[in-house]
Structure formats: structure tokens, C-alpha cells
Amino acid sequence: MSELNLDRSIEAMARARNAIPGGVNSPVRALKGVGGDPFFVAGGEGAFVFDLDGNRYVDLILAWGPLILGHRHPAVVEAITRVLGRGFSFGAPTLEEVELAEGVKRALPSVETVRLVNSGTEATMSAVRAARGFTGRPKVVKFEGCYHGHADFLLVKAGSGLATFGTPDSAGVPAEFAAHTLTLPYNDPDALNAAFDAAGGEIAAVIVEPFVGNMGVVLPAPGFVEALRTVPRAHGALLIADEVMTGFRVAWGGAQELLDLKPDLTCLGKVIGGGLPVGAYGGRADVMSKVSPLGPVYQAGTMSGNPISVAAGIATLSILGEFDPYPWLEGKAARLCGGLAAAARDAGVTVQVNRIASMFTVFFTDAPVTDWRSADRCDRKAYAAFFHEMRRRGVSLPPSQFEAAFLSTAHGDAEVDLVLGAAAESFRAVGAAFPTT
């Protein structure tokens, strides 16, 4: 198999490094987790992205989750184009913001009112602030390997880029700023009980990715879900579901529908912006009534509810609501992940394929991945080799063992077959290079 021609991307990266830290506007894009050169994107269409050198890839990153309808879905393009004719930003209320908020409320019964912001990070930091304001308590519980954006106090034992780069606690965060963050192992109900027994009266909230996407995909055990349901509530603390990644992605009603969870607050992003910048947090009306201008918890944003993101979000949710593609996505993702596991087996490579709905991760390890400790045991070098073998064969995977891959409604059987064909060859190449894997 010939090497990829990435000449133009390499040239672009050299130029970018002189203007942007590390040449990228978000660390994972630099490929530090897998080595090598990133491709610079020229465009995307449906299930595919194209780079500056004219290479085409089946896209399994999909902008890190938002593009559940694939690139440039015509209804989303039409909605954005329509809004451009009226103006891009007003800093004043529009009816469409109400429409999007009503759509979120219809899908997520736990959300009584919802505030739009600009990113998942804004959503999580604002939700925790609301929880602290409501309870009058300082502490927040998070779980190892979960990533809730880059607010100071949440960059503790975090997944995603921090896990990829081996820096789970960011520099630049004074110890005092994170002193009220308690970090527990994911999937450990005993640890949650013990934390509340020790400090329950001080804990404002537990924040959790109900299905984790940010240490790769990790699923919650039933006992852990039950503890999330009951323990915070028993101690007067709130449960915050970080559904930035899973909201409208794993089901119309998100992870909370699949797990029968009723969080006090929910954080959203990604899919609700249809690929444009957006975030949202909402939940119990009594908690949200503490948020300014109703209450004393301050949070604001010039661009919040901007018309372009809102239009793309409404168009995306309308299609998801009308056509209910979730069973179809489930079928495609099950076939893909079953095929990936079989291809690895045939090549003598030991992997664990974790999946929920249309998000999945191939972990290079022989033991089930159920928390950060087991994720951290994966063979990162084997993953890196697999990433490059797949990319050479026209498949774009996340450039990190600790991120989720995604499918969209644009990925039909032909695209799944392309991925499986590439995977069969790639696993064989990885098996040859890493005989003990």
C-alpha cells in the first residue's frame, strides 16, 4: 500500500505553527497522541472529508460528534442560508431560540427550562455554578477520565486531550481553584457512597458523562447508574448529566432516556448546533430560576443563541424528530462494530470494542474497559499504528485512543464496507508489527 501524499497539509502545518500554538486550535488535532502529520481539511460531503492533497476519507470523527446527519446535510445548509439573509447576530432575543429551547424540552422531560450558551465548556461550568448557587454548597464530584470542558475546576483527572497527552491535571490551575473538586473512579458506587458519607453536606453536585465518550466510549454498570439516581439526592445534592456528547446522539432523549435517569441539570452541545458552535444547560425550573436575570447566579454571553447555530440546530433536531434515525443508526453501528471485532480476531489482534448507539471505541487491550484505570492499560502504540493504517486506506479515525468515533445517517452500507475492508488489512498490519498485541 502506497503512502499518503500529504504534501500540502505538511506545508500548511509548517505555516500554521508560526501563527497558532502547535499549529492547531484544539490540541487533539495536532495528532500528538498518534504521531505524524494531520491532514488539513478542504471540505466534507455526507460521510466523507477531503484534504488539501485531494485524499478522501470516510469520516468517523464527524466534528467530534455533532454531525449526526453527516457533512452538509441539505436541510441544514438550507436553514443556515435562509438565516444569512436576515442577519447573523443581534444580541437580542429571537423566536428561533425559543423554538430550539422548546425542542430540547420536548425531547428531555427532565429539562423544564434551558439556557443556550456557545460551547460545552460554558454549559458545564454554568451548570455547576447554578448547582452551587442553588444548594449553597461548594464541592463538586466528578469521575476520573470524564471530561467536562476546560473550566479550571473541572480539569482534574480529566479524559479527552488531557488523557491523550498524559496530563490529566492541567498546568495553570492553582490548587485552590480545584480544591472543591472531588474526583472518584467511574463505575464505583462504593466510592460515591463513601464520598457522600464523608462530605455529603458540602457537595453541591455530581457531574457525570452518563455514557463516557472522553476516555473512549465506556458504559456505566447498572449498580453505578442506580447510585447516580439515589446517592446525590439522598444528600440534597444535584445530579448534572453532561450530555454534550450523548444528547440527541445516542437517542432522541439522550443517555437519560436509555438509562432512565432524571438528572436535576443537563448539559448539551454538539448535535443541538448541527455542527455550529453551541452549548446549553437546563433542568429543574427551581434550580434554573436562580440564574440571572431571575436570580443571583450570573451567566451571560454576547453570542449566546446566535441565529446561525440556532437555525442549524433546529433543522437537525427537526430531522431527528421526524425521521427517528436511531434504530437505523443502531443497526449500522452494530454491523460496523461487530465487523471490527471479527476483523481484529481474524488478524490475531486483541481488542475491546465498546459502543453505545452510534458512538464507539476500539481499545487495544485484552481486558474489558470499564473505567479510567482499565482504559489507561491500553496499548497506545498499537492504537497509533491502527490509526495510521486506517488513514492510509481512506478512513479517518480519532487520533487518540481516548476519544469516541461516530457514525452518521450518511454512512450507508457501502461506507461501512469500506471501513471494514480497511480494518481487516489494518489489523493484519498491526498484528504483524505488534505480535503480542
Per annotation, catalytic residue among 32, 51, 57, 147 = 147
Q: Which is nearer to ligand HOZ, 203 or 218 (CB)?
A: 218
Least spacing, CB of residue 101 vs ligand HOZ, in Å: 22
Q: Which is nearer to ligand HOZ, 99 or 152 (CB)?
A: 152
Least spacing, CB of residue 331 vs ligand HOZ, in Å: 26
Least spacing, CB of residue 161 vs ligand HOZ, in Å: 5
Q: Which is nearer to ligand HOZ, 97 or 144 (CB)?
A: 144
Q: Which is nearer to ligand HOZ, 209 or 371 (CB)?
A: 209
Q: Which residue is nearest to ligand HOZ (CB)?
A: 26
Q: Is there a catalytic annotation at residue 147?
A: yes
Q: Which is nearer to ligand HOZ, 59 or 403 (CB)?
A: 403
Q: Closest Cα to residue 291, out of 110, 117, 121? A: 117
What are the Cα distances from residue 95, in Å, to 112, 114, 337?
18, 15, 41
Q: Is there a catalytic annotation at residue 242?
A: yes
Q: Which is nearer to ligand HOZ, 26 or 89 (CB)?
A: 26
Residue bearing cell 461501512? 416
Using CA atoms of 67, 73, 77, 78 in order, give the dihedral in degrees to the nearest 10: -130
Per annotation, catalytic residue among 59, 270, 371, 379 = 270
Q: Which is nearer to ligand HOZ, 161 or 283 (CB)?
A: 161
Going 130 to 134 to 136 to 138, the CA torsion angle's sign is negative
Give residues in contact with ligand HOZ (CB under 6 A). Answer: 26, 28, 64, 147, 160-161, 214, 245, 403
Per annotation, catalytic residue among 59, 188, 242, 376 = 242
Q: Is there a catalytic annotation at residue 270?
A: yes
Using CA atoms of 387, 389, 390, 394 in order, give the dihedral in degrees to the nearest 10: 130
Q: Alpha-carbon distance 175 to 163, whole Å? A: 19
Q: Alpha-carbon distance 297 to 294, whole Å? A: 9
Least spacing, CB of residue 394 vs ligand HOZ, in Å: 22
Q: Closest Cα to residue 393, out of 433, 367, 427? A: 427
Q: Alpha-carbon distance 397 to 26, whole Å? A: 16
Q: What are the grid coordinates assigned to 316, written together? A: 437537525
403 phi, psi to nearest 5 deg? -135, 160
Q: Closest Cα to residue 64, out of 210, 271, 313? A: 271
Least spacing, CB of residue 276 vs ligand HOZ, in Å: 15
Q: Going edge to edge, which strands form the sheet with 265-269?
A: 113-117, 279-283, 265-269, 238-242, 203-208, 139-143, 181-184
Q: Which is nearer to ligand HOZ, 64 or 383 (CB)?
A: 64
Least spacing, CB of residue 26 vs ligand HOZ, in Å: 3
Least spacing, CB of residue 120 vs ligand HOZ, in Å: 6
Q: Closest Cα to residue 430, out of 342, 338, 348? A: 348
Least spacing, CB of residue 44 vs ligand HOZ, in Å: 16
Report cis status (omega within 30 of 0) of the bond before 232. Answer: no
Q: Closest Cα to residue 316, out of 358, 270, 255, 282? A: 270
Residues tagged active-site: 147, 242, 270
